[in-house]
Every structure is written in C-alpha cells, then in structure tokens.
Homo-oligomer: A and B are copies of this chain.
Amino acid sequence: MIRFNCDYSEGAHPQVLQRLVETNMEQTAGYGEDPHCAHAAELIRSECGRPDADVHFLVGGTQANLTVIAAALRPHQGVIAAQSGHVNVHESGAIEATGHKVLAQPCQDGKLTAEQVRQVVEDHFNDETQEHMVQPKMVYISHPTEVGTLYTKEELEALHQVCRQKGLYLFLDGARLGYGLTAPGTDVTMADVAALCDVFYIGGTKVGTLFGEAVVILHPELKPDFRYLIKQRGGMLAKGRLLGVQFEALFENGLYYEMGRHANEAAAVIRQACQQKGYPFLCPSPTNQQFPILPDEKLPALAKKYAFAHFGKVDDSHSAIRFCTSWATKLEDAQALAQDLLEL
C-alpha cells in the first residue's frame, strides 16, 4: 500500500530530523524563549522582507487558526471564509468554540473574491439592524486552498485593498504554503504574502517538519499579548525550541522551497496521467493535491494498491478523489500510480 491520501504520512525530512538529533541534549529556556526560536524567527522575518514582523511558533494548524482568530476578534465579530475553508468545515467547531461565527461564503475553487468580501461588509453596515448580526472583521483565506488552487498576486492585492478599505484583517492559512509558493505559474512570493496579509502562517506539518506552524503577525493591532493567547489555548510547547530548530532547518538553505517543488513535480506526474486518460478535475490545481473525477467502478482496483481520499460523489457513477503528494513522495511511486491510472 502506497499512501497518497494526505501529506502527513511520514515523519520529518531527514535534514530536519538530523537537527533535532544534534540539538537534543542542549539545555535551553522553555516556551519558545530560546536561541533557536529567535534565530528561526529572524530567518523568517528576512524571508518575508519584514523586520517588523512578530513570529510565533505553534504546534498545529487548527491551533494556529483558533489562536489567531481568538486573539484578533471582539466577541461580536466574525470571520469571512469560503464555505470550503478549513475553519468552516474541518476543525470540529474550533472557531465557534472561541465564540466566533464563521461567515461562510459560496465559492469557486475554494477561493474568496474581493468582490464577495466587499458585498458582505457593505450588506452588513448598510443594514439598519446590523447590531443584530455578526460583524465581519476578518477575512480567512487558505493558500493553497483546501482544493489545491492558488490566488494570483492580483487577487491577493484586491483582497488586501478591500480589507484595508473596510477595516478588516486579512488572515492567510499557509498550512501548505511551501507547495503554493513553488507551484508552476504562480506569481506570489513569501514577501508578497507578508506584504499583503495582516497575519499568516507558514505550515511545517505538511511541509517537512514533525509538526509546527510559524505564525507571522504584521498588523500592529494583532501583536499585543499574543503569547498569552498561545498559552491559554494550549499551544505553547514547553520545549518550544523544537519548533525553532525545525524552522531553522527549513529556512537556512531553502529546504522549504526545495521540498515544495519536489511535491509539485510528483503531483504533476499524476495530473498528467489523469489528463491523458481524459479524467476531468474538480478544479485545476498546480499544487500537491490533485482532485480527479473517476468512474466509481475503477476505484476498488486502485484502492488495493494506493491509499487516496474520497472527496465526494459528483454523480451516480463518478467520484472526486484526492491524490496528495509531499516532500516525502518518491518520484517512482508517483510514476507507478500514473502508469496504473493509464492502465485502469
């Protein structure tokens, strides 16, 4: 059985693990107040071109999302997200458990548009009974999205603009950011993300670390007391330096991007086989997640050899499935899958 069902089947990239081994018996201060975290934060600030950024290391994505949102919003404020957004569907109500409504919007390809955001905000503030409704205050996007798609720089700029005009915070969930920044055809860089968002995070869990997400805060209003919130929400790792050590490994020599490119290449092999075979896609994805639509009858054979995720029936006899590659995917495994798809 070869796993293409998700991008967290293995441990860490060997270089990352090596660092953990090398530093294991160092004695450092706890809770992220150690030299490794300081250095990793510095590397990230530099990567972002934003010496003013606050950088915090958290353990996982849901934790990062709920902590950022709880820290940013007053009780009556909500976060606009695509209906397919991770915060809306796959966090067991984590955002609501912090007291906030997710203002879910219908979406194309997992993406919110600036126009949608503008409409939601204007509809709210134009309504005489606005005080009876949740006030939109933050926009949550994921990049790549949950269905593998990417925003263009122009789209991000438009979202940035509307957020500025309307007094909203723009929050980018970068759980798979490494795969997004290295996708063929993208014009969005880490510095762009840092320039256009108020807060975002750089995902490690799905891109080469054992665990860990680096939250980067740009907007001055979002900075005060963030560490209290990390602690309160259970995200403050006692041995915080484990996060610093891993992010040092990701950003000292471009390993983060190298892993991203590798996964995208492996995904392209699978994508091309599906295209050749004439299978349509749920949406066009240049990143490490591919969502082809296959006849249901073909799935059992495939499932004997490969693990993949069932995304949903699209009609009586076809289903969208997800193949996921990662930094750890062996190219020959992707090629084997491609070959098997062609021969289905």
Contact = CB atoms under 8 A, between A and B. Distances in A.
A1 B6 CA distance: 44
Given A70-B75, A75-B232, A24 B6 contact: no
A31 B8 CA distance: 9
A93 B97 contact: no
Interface in A52-78: 59-63, 66-67, 70-71, 74-76, 78
A269 B211 CA distance: 37
A173 to B, nearest CB: 14
Contact of A228 (B14, B76, B205): B76
Contacts of A235: 63, 234
Nearest to A20: B11
Give chain A's interface secondary structure class.
loop
Oligomeric state, in copies: 4
A100 interface: yes
Interface string A73-93: 011101000000000011111
A210 B99 CA distance: 31
B8 A238 contact: yes
A129 interface: yes
Given A9-B28, A60-B237, A234-B235, 9 more contacts: A21-B21, A59-B60, A61-B238, A62-B234, A76-B231, A90-B133, A92-B228, A93-B100, A94-B234
